Amino acid sequence: MSKVKQLVAEYAQYVSLPWSAGLAGAQKVWFAVYRPTDERRLRLHLDEFETATRHAGHGWFLCDITDTFAAWMASQEYRDAYFECPEDLTASVLNDFLQHTASSIKEQALAATDADVVAVVGVASLFGFKRTSELMKLVEPHIAGRLLVFYPGEHEDNNYRLLDARDGWNYLATPITTQ
């Protein structure tokens, strides 16, 4: 069985368990952790995650943030200048990008109920611009049901590393792994 199929099976077990009410935002977040090299395979199996979710009696909302940076950049008045001089993408400018990304996820979260899963794919597109931890802080208060983040990287002792490249960050989300 492939690693992605194993991840689907692990997820199916998690999503079918009874959900506790009254949890804090970080406790409603699940990270489906997989090898970055499995990104395309995982995307081919997203429908299986949806099927497992619906089979467990929950709704499914998919939010793909892969192209969010490109869409945000295209809307910027000074986009040409940013391409000519990338160091002009200051922390405050990139915070605007982060807010933009968070709002696209919040949109899905507002449509969901406390019995639904909002799944986020494409967090690797944040790499080099912002950290996933910063995005989670903005999004988690708006999750009614569960937030499933497809996370290409590593998990060890509540420490997550995106694309196996950055220093990790400690987060209380429930990891779903194949280990």
Spatial separation of the C-alpha atoms in residues 56 and 50, rounded to whole Å = 10
How confident is the model over 139-168, as pLDDT tens digits?
999 999 999 999 888 877 776 666 666 555
How confident is the model over 35-93, as pLDDT tens digits?
999 999 999 999 999 999 999 999 999 999 999 988 888 888 877 877 787 777 778 88
The total of structural domains in the chain comes to 1
- 21 in a structural domain: no
Expressed as residue numbers, the domain containing 107 is 3-15+26-176
- 154 in a structural domain: yes
pLDDT of residue 11: 96
125-144 burial code (b ≥16 CB/10 A, e <16): bbbeebbbebbbeebbebbe
Q: What is the helix (H) or strand (E) element at residue 7, kind and residue range?
A: helix 3-16
- 102 in a structural domain: yes
Whether residue 114 contacts residue 18, with contact meaning beta carbons closer than 8 Å, is answered with: no
- 90 in a structural domain: yes
